[in-house]
């Protein structure tokens, strides 16, 4: 197993995040938990994660949440930069958990995708 430290970006009350944390603990993985509600992501970090994920902002947009509906984002008429700005302002818009290891990251949805990184 690689010695690179795993970082997991979570919302502590999220059931999928808790399942991912349990997998990491059960596997004995050295990891750091980043609660991006308490320590907000920067636009640079979010862009870096997106690059590692190989996804666009719209692809990690949490479409099932109340904030998505309230902001009327289903129209899809925003630029990537506008979506990023909204994600930083409203972290509920970010799909979770995101697991980062070295130069790779995955969106652990479903949670079993975490094994692809380990």
Q: How far is CA 47 from the centre of its chain?
A: 11
Distance (Å, whole) CA 110 – CA 103: 21
Catalytic residue ranges: 14
Closest CA to 99 of 36, 42, 26: 36
């Amino acid at each position: 197993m690689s010695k690179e430290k795993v970082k997991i970006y979570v919302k502590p009350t999220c059931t999928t995040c808790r399942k991912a944390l349990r997998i990491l603990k059960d596997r004995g993985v050295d990891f750091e938990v980043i609660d991006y509600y308490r320590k907000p992501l920067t636009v640079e970090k979010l862009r870096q994660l997106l690059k590692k994920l190989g996804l666009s902002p719209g692809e990690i947009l949490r479409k099932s949440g109340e904030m998505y509906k309230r902001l009327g984002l289903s129209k899809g008429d925003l630029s990537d930069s506008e979506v990023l700005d909204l994600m930083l302002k409203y972290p509920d818009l970010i799909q979770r958990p995101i697991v980062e290891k070295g130069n790779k990251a995955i969106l652990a949805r479903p949670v079993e995708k975490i094994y692809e990184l380990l």
